[in-house]
Structure 1
């Protein structure tokens, strides 16, 4: 008889949400005009990313530095909380939310594992009473630098962060959910792995 609790690990952007929340957060906090102007300026960097010359992590830090470098962390975090409350609920896939609630009803530990900054992912996760592992933003002298504290929570780093957070051997079954190649290492942790499950 299995006496271990179940575990459900969910990617956030594209799996639970319909859109990438980084772009939506920039639009929310900076406005559409600054959003489009910024990405026009950043377009050469985005070409390098698409060509595989710079990594996902490097590209994200370029974007975050352009829009938020030097911002007071308290102001940044308030924007993140407002975004989590006002905008994220509109981006959530209803089937994903139903799946989370079903796992909670079954007594499973539910953890969101995201490459997006925890500054806005965690407030939303907290609102559902689920746990969160996400990319951490670097703060120096109370200011956002635009860089990461540690590694981008993407690819193999998701697995490293999960294993630092909990012992997967303590759980059975393990459900995993993702939608990109960057989620495949995490998906492999599950004995019930689901790739793009909520898009039908």
Structure 2
């Protein structure tokens, strides 16, 4: 039976949250910090668990990206993946990631970050990606998430919609946060903050 390796992206394969870094890359440091000052009340409500993760995320996406052309957004996503993500990747995590690929395991990145900047990196490394999709209307971002945010139990649902976990005797899961808890429970070999 083949082995399965599931990797969270932000904070597990990378040293930083790529969503935050992508906003800085896209809007520049001044607009980034100004935006987060204005969004502070929303982020406090999220930290206090008054509003859920996906809702807080939509507020951030709406503020920074609503109305942006999806073609331009994807172009910036590709540029960010090429220019910045390689410098954020943890060496030990990448070594483990490449080891699974070399062994012929099915390797999947399962991320709450958006497809738009994670997919170019996943494609370059020849692995599958499950991530959050952003809604568009008339080829422009609406500020909303399409479907559900790929976080927590949604990670497990999305994995189950793509593969049958029972086909794998060895399941290696790598995660670093509360959003990975349910995915880590699938593992025969869970790795939590090991890098």
TM-score by length of 1: 0.96
Tell me what 1:190 maps to: 187
Is the aligned partner of 1:80 residue 2:84? no
Task: Map residues 40-59 of structure 1 onto 2, 5 A cutoff.
Answer: 40-59=37-56
> Displacement, 1:172?
2.1
Tell me what 1:143 maps to: 140
3-state SS, counterpart of residue 158 of structure 1: helix
How many Å separate the matches in 1 of 2:28 and 2:169?
45
3-state SS, counterpart of residue 147 of structure 1: strand
Task: Map residues 15-164 of structure 1 onto 2, 5 A cutoff.
Answer: 15-164=12-161
> Displacement, 1:197?
1.2
CA RMSD of aligned residues (A): 0.6
Unmatched 5+ residue regions in structure 1? Answer: none
TM-score by length of 2: 0.99
How many Å separate the matches in 2 of 1:172 and 1:12?
23
Ranges of 4+ aligned residues in structure 1 off by more than 4 Å: none
3-state SS, counterpart of residue 7 of structure 1: strand
Unmatched 5+ residue regions in structure 2? Answer: none
String of CA shifts for 1:10-37, please: whole Å, max 9, x gaps: 0000111111111100000100010011
